[in-house]
Amino acid sequence: MMKNTTLNTFHRLRPRLQGIAYRMLGSSAEAEEVVQDAWLRWHESAHDGLESAEAWLVTITTRLAIDRLRSAKVQREHYVGTWLPEPLMAETSSPSPEQMLERADDVSVAFLTLLERLSPEARAAYLMREVFDADYGEVAEALGKSESACRQIVHRAKAQLQDARPRYAVPRDAQLRLLRGFADAAASGRFAALTDLLAQDAQLIGDGGGKVPSFGVPIVGNRRIAQLFYATHRRFGDAVRFEVVVLNGQWGLLRFIGNTLESAQSFETDGQHILTLHVQRNPDKLARIAAALGRDTGAVPPP
């Protein structure tokens, strides 16, 4: 009976633990490994007199994620090109507005990329307090610091991120119309339409991870970005296809060339124009989405 209770408690809290670990690491596979390590520690620990199973598991998961992120930070310093998080695709193609709203802001690709500015401890403190609404006592327990120190860490993290947070709150239907228009223009090779849909100072940020061709620095300017999409259409013609999906709680695009998932594309918009495109091309980071769709991933030309 005790084993069943232990297992049931963990499974009930697993989505929260997975959410913490993914936001910390930007990788589903690494997040799952952290949660599995947390399970092993939970399974092997004595629970007599434990006041809160949730607090215990959140603390362990956070500490494990901090340790993993410290190691990942070193690896990312040597990453080929720009590092972007692994995209998450919604399990249903028609999520409710509530489901999208629940995850749109604190798990978006833009937000996770922004969190890379923070140290592992600052990232953990900020997420626990601002995203998961933990009190400062819980944050202090997880980080092994005083509450006052954690307040300072969160305050500095908020200040560090404030100026770079998205500037516009765009209705979901407006974003969906804009992305569908962009996908139609890209699939049909309409250069002028692509240019008009992009802000003049729009930027494209790509991640190939050294596995496929991509750009090491952001591409800036609506005409330059439109030219990239136009060139892909010119080369592959009708083999280029886009699918509108929910990526990390927001509308995004999957681009296929033949049967190959070439990229997952996330967008920041002002409702009228596309401001930023985050284009994930690293096959390793597309593998889960491709497997869920029964598709391949592979090297095809950028963007």
Instruction: Tell me: do 282 and 196 sit in the same domain.
Output: yes
Instruction: Tell me: do 249 and 138 sit in the same domain.
Output: no
Domain final position from 144, 162, 180 = 162
Say which residue, 151 or 168, is predicted with more confidence. Answer: 151
Instruction: Tell me: do 181 and 51 sit in the same domain.
Output: no
Residue 256, both tokens: 């296929």
Smallest CA-to-CA distance from 291 within 86, 110, 106 is with 86
Instruction: Round to whole Å and give the CA distance between 160 and 252.
Output: 27
Smallest CA-to-CA distance from 211 within 127, 294, 298 is with 298
CATH number at residue 80: 1.20.140.160
pTM over 0.85: yes
Instruction: Tell me: do 156 and 180 sit in the same domain.
Output: no
* Domain coverage including residue 130: 2-84+112-162
Name the burial class of residue 49, with classes exposed (0-12), middle (13-18) and buried (19+) by CB atoms within 10 angstroms of its CB. exposed
Highest mean pLDDT among 97-111, 208-222, 275-289: 275-289
Q: Which residues lie below 8 Å from residue 144, measured CB to CB, with a gap of 6+?
A: 63
pLDDT value at residue 28: 92
Smallest CA-to-CA distance from 178 within 250, 234, 228, 85 is with 250
Confidence of residue 1 (pLDDT cuts 50, 70, 90): very low
Instruction: Tell me: do 156 and 186 sit in the same domain.
Output: no
Three-state SS letters, 196-261: HHEEEEEEEEEECCCCCCCCCCCEECHHHHHHHHHHHHHHHHHHEEEEEEEECCEEEEEEEECCEE
pLDDT value at residue 105: 60
Smallest CA-to-CA distance from 136 within 55, 60, 68 is with 55
pLDDT exceeds 60 at position 100: no
pLDDT exceeds 70 at position 8: yes
CATH number at residue 218: 3.10.450.50
pLDDT exceeds 60 at position 22: yes
Instruction: Tell me: do 183 and 242 sit in the same domain.
Output: yes
Instruction: Round to whole Å and give the CA distance between 75 and 92.
Output: 33
Instruction: Tell me: do 76 and 176 sit in the same domain.
Output: no
CB–CB of 116/61 below 8 Å?
no
- Opening angle at CA 26, ends 17 and 90, nearest 5: 75
Instruction: Round to whole Å and give the CA distance between 284 and 294.
Output: 15
- Tally the domains of the chain: 2
**Structural domain contains residue 105:** no
**Structural domain contains residue 182:** yes
